[in-house]
């Protein structure tokens, strides 16, 4: 596992060092030992002139096993591979930059002081450690090697500068501006339009609003009226104003990316560059994300709301988090599954540290308490504030919209999704079944009475709303939210490319401790299988729609089943990671 620690020194000689620590060897195992993780902390680095220098650090010990720790000693020598870079300033004058990698010895010098430890709680406040390394012997001066080393160091520093927040956001904005301009060109010159058909639905609904009508007079508008209200400027005329919604959705992408950087820096303790690389690769510089937003899909706005919700919960701002959850569920139904995870998380050890509370009593004392006391303890102040805020926001928005637009609001925004039979561009394994059901009768009432329109919800809701959040959310809430969303999309009876945005926006919170990051082979295998399964499905769908060749069965059916199997395997890896890793505390 990789851990970042920033070490600062004071005095005339100033050393700014950023380390990446990877444990590669531990002391011999004792009798059934628990599992531990080392978390670096802030302290002073001392640079000593001479052939050897010693850095004194402190590390927190994180216990992720189950049981008791009785006289467990952490003293011993660990071998660690540490990549480090430092900038040396002497009397406030920049003197040297250096980057290297080597094998160091890390010696822990403190024993466990506790007898009983809760999973996820720190065993000791601090465990003193000394890392010592002898630098490589000096070599004879070589002009070519020196210039090459200097050039490499300069290029590395310049590349890292691109992954700081401001450059990432600026480049992301330029990417989306370029794609918007290209979209205007393609729309005006090509038969295949760049603008998504959904965007035309949005803008038509906004036009109905501007004329004093209901947005639901536009056929196939199945969204909250808030979206049509936001797009009213698209009715003002001209190409610029017609593209206003696309610009708004692209701005939502940027806000979501900025929120990811805040969470990765605060909750996970990642440095700016490390967090920037993750967010750039997954979201801000991802061409699929930029394309979906600039074509006119509103998922970027929802992504910004979801990231804001995660940030608010992890910062302990429960009233704000509740309001954001109510808004998210009003906008799209699926974030309702987050409510279980967040409410359950608020009773865990991580949440208690966020709220400034003391840990729970030892397990034997918890078991001796009455059921009534345990039930009453469940209704904490934070849970009540969160629940009241979310319900008030959700109910308030719905009552407001129902008052203005009446039953069509409920029918198109909510009940429609219970019986929808979309089979076009649908990666779901239910694709062929929905096609057959939709062709059996043209009557919507018949569709609503068909069990195949509602039965798919059972495994989907059971997995995403209960089986995933209850066991895992207390230990790692952001990764649990990602797993819930991934399961919701995978098991949904309608699965389109736009739905991938729902879990992509949470993927950066899972990656820092993901098995896919630790194993390049695993990551490449998953990526190839995921892309290949989609490519096969899309090729068959193209043959069906544009060439009129019947590929429903067995072609599309087997392709959808293969894509579903790949997603289930990926979900299994995520769940396995959740069962092993315990999340950090904010700021660690």
Q: What is the mean pLDDT of residues 517-537?
A: 92
CB 319 within 8 A of CB 383: no
From 535, 587, 520, 539, select the one nearest 566 (Cα to Cα).
535
CB 66 within 8 A of CB 119: yes
Q: Which residues contact 17 (CB under 8 A, 6 or more apart)?
A: 6, 7, 45, 55, 84, 85, 86
CB 296 within 8 A of CB 198: yes
pLDDT digits (tens, 9 = 90+) for 332-369: 999 999 999 999 999 888 888 888 775 554 444 444 56
347 burial level (CB within 10 Å; 0-12, 13-18, 19+):
middle
From 337, 342, 290, 271, select the one nearest 512 (Cα to Cα).
271
Dist CA 306 CA 303 (whole Å):
5
Q: Which of 89-93, 159-163, 380-384 has the lowest mean pLDDT?
A: 89-93
Q: In 10 A of CB 433, how many CB atoms?
A: 17
pLDDT digits (tens, 9 = 90+) for 481-526: 999 999 999 999 888 888 999 999 999 999 988 999 888 899 999 9
Mean pLDDT across the chain, nearest whole number?
74
Q: Which residues contact 409 (CB under 8 A, 6 or more apart)?
A: 216, 225, 398, 401, 402
* Token reading at 388: 């009241």
Q: In 10 A of CB 11, how many CB atoms?
A: 9
How confident is the model at residue 155, as a pLDDT?
59
Per domain, the residue ranges of the chain are 2-134+142-161, 420-588
Dist CA 98 CA 88 (whole Å):
9
Q: Output 270 or 236, whichever has higher pLDDT.
A: 236
Residue given tokens 């005006």 in the structure block: 188
Model-level pTM?
0.73
Res. 432 pLDDT band, cuts 50 70 90: confident
Q: What is the mean pLDDT of residues 294-298?
A: 94
CB 305 within 8 A of CB 501: no
Q: Which residues pair with 190 in a beta bridge?
A: none
Secondary structure percentages of the chain, helix, strand, coil, to 5: 60, 15, 30
Dist CA 165 CA 273 (whole Å):
8
Q: Which letter does DSSP use for residue 141 in this model?
A: -
């Amino acid at each position: 596992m990789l851990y970042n620690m920033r070490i600062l020194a004071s005095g005339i000689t100033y050393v700014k060092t950023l380390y990446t620590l990877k444990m590669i060897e531990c002391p011999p195992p004792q009798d059934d030992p628990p599992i531990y993780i080392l978390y670096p902390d802030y302290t002073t680095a001392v640079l000593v002139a001479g052939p050897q220098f010693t850095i004194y650090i402190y590390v927190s010990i994180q216990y992720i096993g189950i049981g008791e720790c009785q006289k467990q000693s952490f003293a011993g020598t660990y071998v660690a591979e540490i990549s480090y870079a430092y900038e040396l300033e002497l009397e406030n004058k920049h003197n040297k930059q250096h980057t290297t990698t080597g094998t160091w010895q890390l010696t822990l010098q403190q024993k466990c002081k506790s007898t009983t430890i809760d999973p996820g709680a720190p065993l000791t406040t601090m465990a003193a450690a000394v890392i010592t390394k002898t630098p490589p012997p000096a070599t004879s001066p070589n002009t070519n090697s020196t210039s090459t080393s200097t050039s490499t160091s300069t290029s590395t520093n310049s590349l890292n500068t691109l992954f700081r927040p401001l450059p990432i956001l600026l480049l992301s904005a330029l990417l989306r501006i370029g794609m918007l301009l290209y979209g205007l060109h393609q729309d005006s010159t090509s038969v295949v339009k760049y603008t998504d058909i959904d965007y035309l639905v949005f803008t038509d609904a906004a036009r109905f609003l501007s004329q004093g009508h209901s947005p639901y007079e536009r056929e196939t508008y199945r969204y909250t009226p808030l979206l049509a209200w936001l797009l009213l400027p698209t009715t003002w005329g001209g190409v610029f104003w017609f593209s206003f919604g696309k610009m708004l959705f692209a701005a939502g992408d940027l806000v979501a990316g900025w929120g990811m950087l805040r969470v990765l820096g605060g909750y996970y303790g990642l440095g700016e560059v490390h967090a920037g690389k993750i967010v750039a690769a997954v979201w801000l510089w991802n061409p699929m994300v930029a394309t979906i937003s600039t074509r006119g899909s509103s998922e970027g706005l929802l992504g910004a709301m979801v990231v804001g919700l995660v940030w608010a919960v992890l910062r302990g701002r429960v009233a704000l988090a509740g309001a954001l959850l109510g808004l998210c569920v009003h906008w799209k139904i699926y974030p309702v599954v987050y409510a279980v995870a967040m409410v359950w998380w608020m009773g865990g050890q991580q949440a208690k540290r966020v709220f400034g509370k003391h840990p729970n009593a030892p397990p034997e004392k918890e078991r001796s308490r009455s059921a009534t006391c345990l039930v009453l303890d469940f209704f904490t102040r934070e849970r009540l504030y969160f629940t009241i805020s979310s319900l008030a926001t959700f109910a308030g928005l719905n009552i407001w919209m129902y008052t203005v637009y009446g039953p069509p609001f409920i029918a198109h925004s909510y009940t429609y999704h219970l019986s929808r039979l979309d089979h076009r561009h649908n990666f779901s394994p239910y694709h062929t079944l929905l096609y057959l059901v939709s062709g059996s009768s043209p009557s919507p009432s018949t569709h609503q009475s068909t069990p195949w329109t509602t039965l798919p919800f059972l495994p989907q809701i059971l997995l995403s709303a209960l089986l995933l959040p209850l066991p895992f959310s207390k230990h790692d809430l952001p990764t649990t939210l990602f797993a819930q969303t991934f399961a919701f999309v995978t098991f949904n009876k309608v699965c389109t490319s736009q739905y991938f945005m729902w879990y992509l926006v949470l993927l950066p919170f899972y990656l820092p401790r993901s098995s896919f990051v630790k194993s390049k082979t695993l990551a490449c295998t998953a990526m190839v299988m995921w892309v290949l399964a989609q490519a096969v499905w899309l090729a068959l769908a193209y043959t069906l729609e544009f060439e009129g060749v019947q590929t429903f069965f067995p072609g599309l059916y087997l392709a959808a089943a293969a894509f579903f199997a790949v997603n289930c395997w990926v979900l299994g890896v995520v769940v396995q990671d959740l069962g092993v890793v315990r999340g950090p505390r904010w700021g660690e």
